[in-house]
Amino acid sequence: MSEKLTLRLSRVGTILLVIFTYSIIYLPIVIIAFLSFNASSRDQIWTGFSFVWYREILNNPRLLEAIQNTLLIAVLATLISTVLGTLFAIGIHGLSRKQRLKIMVLNNIPVVNPDIVTGISLLLVFSLLPLSFGFQTMLLAHIFFCIPFVVLSVLPKLKTLDPNLYDAAIDLGASRFKALWLVIIPSIKVGILAGSLIAFTMSIDDFVISYFTFGDGFQNVSIWIYSRLGRRTFSPSVYAYNTLVVFVTIVVLSLFNLFGKKQKSIKGEKI
Amino acid sequence: MKKLIDIQNLVKQFDDQVVLNNINLYINENEFITLLGPSGCGKTTLLRLIGGFETLDEGKILFEDKNIADIPAHKRPINTVFQKYALFPHLNVYQNIAFGLKMKKMPKETIEQEVLKALEMVKLKGYESRNIKTLSGGQQQRVAIARALVNKPKVLLLDEPLAALDLKLRQDMQYELKEMQRALGITFIFVTHDQEEALTMSDTVVVMNEGHILQIGTPIDIYNEPKNRFVASFIGESNILPATMIKDYKVNILNTEYTCVDHGFGEQTPVEVVIRPEDIELKPAQGGIEGLVTDVIFKGVHYEIIVMVGTIEFIIHSTLSQTVGTQVSITFEPEAIHVMRR
């Protein structure tokens, strides 16, 4: 066998393996998308193409409310955790190396902790506080688990900055607040944006921690789906919702990649 | 000349470690003063204290006879060119230079005029809308200088601003900075570890080591009359030898008696003498200090010749070469001998 042929075969093998792997990963998503267009309300039987379940989202008040809750929590938790996480990261960055390492351990524990531990501990803490379970507890929980991720994505960006940047702004007559607002924040905006996107996705698909902190009829989508599973009230609208989420994700990711590439090509001009 | 900055008994510590110990220094108006020393000697800390980026532990810094300890950095009439320039990466050249004037809330037209003038001064006309990431090191350096000078400070602090540039560019910038300082009449406080840079540019050189000021003087003084071994060896190459001061104007170096110009050291006092490599003349062996030529290195303008006298190594810079292995006599004029206390 010639070397060329072997090379070609191994290349074909690689391509086949990649196709196989990715089809397995994406198969469930494709199935859900497929079922979301099924006119039948029973899962396995295809009775025709239809948008009925997409319309159903708007007509099912409980599901609609759960979607609204999910988005409300995600948006608020993202905003608050981005602001707090960015400030924390700036503060941590200003510490000495030793102190920074110590505090980063504290920051990273919630990241690696299993959700179930976080959920139960928050449940305990919240029940000790004069808080009624529902919107406020779920929001607090989401802010809590999002902050470390924002810190983790902002901190590396801060490390790449010139260490004298803040002093330079002060030197040119900016107050401390202005130095932060006009110089530091704009210089790390890529990190802040990335952090907020991670926070948003973490919040929007959380089930475990939300399950321990919901109440008072305030449900997000994941809890709503869980409570309907296997029941008659379960509706293929869930598939439609999931498909929409995947669609939005793909669009956002593509835009992000395009935007990122543009940035890179600007950097490339440097030489 | 008028005193502009007067630093008195200044002490600065970081976590119990004294980084500046009892610093006394005054800086005149229109002076180009250089803080020179190896890394870790406290020179950058001293600069940051003047700029207001650090707080001092003891002593005073007077600016035009007023203590400025409580004036925050952003209200001092002082601007800084930072080590790696610290340009704002999200702003273009124009916006970077305009930043200080904007903070002062100057009218837009004035800002535009001043920024364009500053750009012209640093020879970057036409670069207004350039992204700073697309500029070369030398150009970024010029933007940093323009960004500081556009505010018309009374004092400009420069923290090793030329360290990141290549040799040719560095020499050009040395010349240009000196020119700017003369033309603008601003006091420049320059920090460097490069002795040649310090000697070329400064009116006054302050040699520092381990948190102390070792010597303050003009470049010529510092070079010709170093106060101690550290200054002598830090400022250029030198031969530092043990010697005995017999009496005024008479010194014994390596068992040979020499006439010198130094006095006031007492009689029979152990001292050290400095002889610069270019002040030594080699002659065919004729008595006095004799040694063996062990190495001859061509350095461009001169030859660097190593002569061993017993176990003591002499460095000689000469335009005349020598043959390795010849016995020579080391001779020098009385003015070439500089005596230091041991």
CATH of the domain at A170: 1.10.3720.10
**Assigned domain for A122 exists:** yes
Write out pLDDT tens, residues A219-233. 888 888 888 776 666
The residues near A120 (Cβ < 8 Å, ≥ 6 apart) are: A212
Contact residues on chain B for A175, CB-CB shorter than 8 A: 74
* Alpha carbon distances (Å) from B250 to B210, B211, B226, B228, B282: 34, 35, 19, 19, 22
Predicted pLDDT at B235: 87
| Mean local confidence (pLDDT), B148-168 | 90
CB contact under 8 A, A162 and B75: no
Choose among B74, B85, B134: nearest Cβ to A170.
Answer: B74
Predicted pLDDT at A74: 93
pLDDT: which is higher, A58 or A14? A14
Closest CA to B140 of B96, B197, B190: B96
The residues near A144 (Cβ < 8 Å, ≥ 6 apart) are: A110, A118, A122
Q: Structurally, what CATH architecture does the domain formed by B3-229 represent?
A: 3-Layer(aba) Sandwich (3.40)
Predicted pLDDT at A46: 76
Question: Could you tell me the pLDDT band of residue B93, with boundaries at 50, 70 and 90?
Answer: very high
Predicted pLDDT at A148: 94
pLDDT: which is higher, A164 or A56? A164
Predicted pLDDT at A256: 78
Instruction: State the smallest CA–CA distance between residue A94 and chain B in angstroms.
Output: 14
Predicted pLDDT at A269: 39
B104 in A contact zone (CB under 8 Å): yes
> CA-CA distance, A163 to A156, in Å (whole number)?
13
Contact residues on chain A for B160, CB-CB shorter than 8 A: none
For chain A, give the mean pLDDT: 86
Predicted pLDDT at A262: 58
Instruction: Tell me: pLDDT of A41 over 90.
Output: no
CB contact under 8 A, A164 and B86: yes
**Assigned domain for A18 exists:** no
Predicted pLDDT at A133: 84
Total count of domains within chain A: 1
Instruction: Tell me: pLDDT of A135 over 70.
Output: yes
ipTM of the complex in this document: 0.83
Interface probe, candidates A172, A185, A188, A267, chain B, greatest B C-beta count within 10 A: A172
> Chain A residue closest to B82 (CA)?
A164
For chain B, the domains span: 3-229, 237-341
Write out pLDDT tens, residues A77-108. 999 999 999 999 999 998 888 999 999 998 88
B141 in A contact zone (CB under 8 Å): no
pTM: 0.79
* SS3 track for chain B: CCEEEEEEEEEEEECCEEEEEEEEEEEECCCEEEEECCCCCCHHHHHHHHHCCCCCCEEEEEECCEECCCCCHHHCCEEEECCCCCCCCCCEHHHHHHHHHHHCCCCHHHHHHHHHHHHHHCCCCCCCCCEHHHCCHHHHHHHHHHHHHCCCCCEEEEECCCCCCCHHHHHHHHHHHHHHHHHHCCEEEEEECCHHHHHHHCCEEEEEECCEEEEEECHHHHHHCCCCHHHHHHCCCCEEEEEEEEECCEEEECCEEEECCCCCCCCCEEEEEEECHHHCEEEECCCCEEEEEEEEEECCCCEEEEEEECCEEEEEEECCCCCCCCEEEEECCHHHCEEEEC
| Mean local confidence (pLDDT), B124-147 | 91
| Structural domain harbouring A103 | 61-234
> Chain B residue closest to A175 (CA)?
B74
Instruction: Tell me: pLDDT of A40 over 80.
Output: no
| Mean local confidence (pLDDT), B287-312 | 90
Highest mean pLDDT among A147-151, A244-248, A252-256: A147-151
B89 in A contact zone (CB under 8 Å): yes
Domain B3-229 matches domain B237-341 at the CATH topology level: no
Q: Structurally, what CATH architecture does the domain formed by B237-341 represent?
A: Beta Barrel (2.40)
Largest CA distance in chain B: 78
Predicted pLDDT at A268: 41
CB contact under 8 A, A171 and B88: no
Contact residues on chain B for A173, CB-CB shorter than 8 A: 74-75, 100, 103-104, 151
Residues in a beta bridge with A38: A49
Instruction: Tell me: pLDDT of B158 over 90.
Output: yes
Question: Could you tell me the pLDDT band of residue A110, with boundaries at 50, 70 and 90?
Answer: confident
Write out pLDDT tens, residues B16-34. 888 999 999 999 999 999 9
| Mean local confidence (pLDDT), B130-137 | 91
Write out pLDDT tens, residues A152-183. 999 999 999 998 999 999 999 999 999 999 99
Choose among A173, A182, A183: nearest Cβ to B74.
Answer: A173
Interface probe, candidates A166, A171, A263, chain B, greatest B C-beta count within 10 A: A171
Contact residues on chain A for B131, CB-CB shorter than 8 A: 266
Predicted pLDDT at A270: 36
CB contact under 8 A, B104 and A167: no
B105 in A contact zone (CB under 8 Å): no
Predicted pLDDT at A55: 84
| Mean local confidence (pLDDT), A13-38 | 90
Question: Could you tell me the pLDDT band of residue A43, with boundaries at 50, 70 and 90?
Answer: low
Predicted pLDDT at B306: 93
CB contact under 8 A, A187 and B88: yes
Instruction: State the smallest CA–CA distance between residue A89 and chain B in angstroms.
Output: 19
For chain B, give the mean pLDDT: 91
| Mean local confidence (pLDDT), B223-233 | 89
Predicted pLDDT at A271: 33
| Mean local confidence (pLDDT), B262-285 | 90
Contact residues on chain B for A174, CB-CB shorter than 8 A: 74, 99, 103
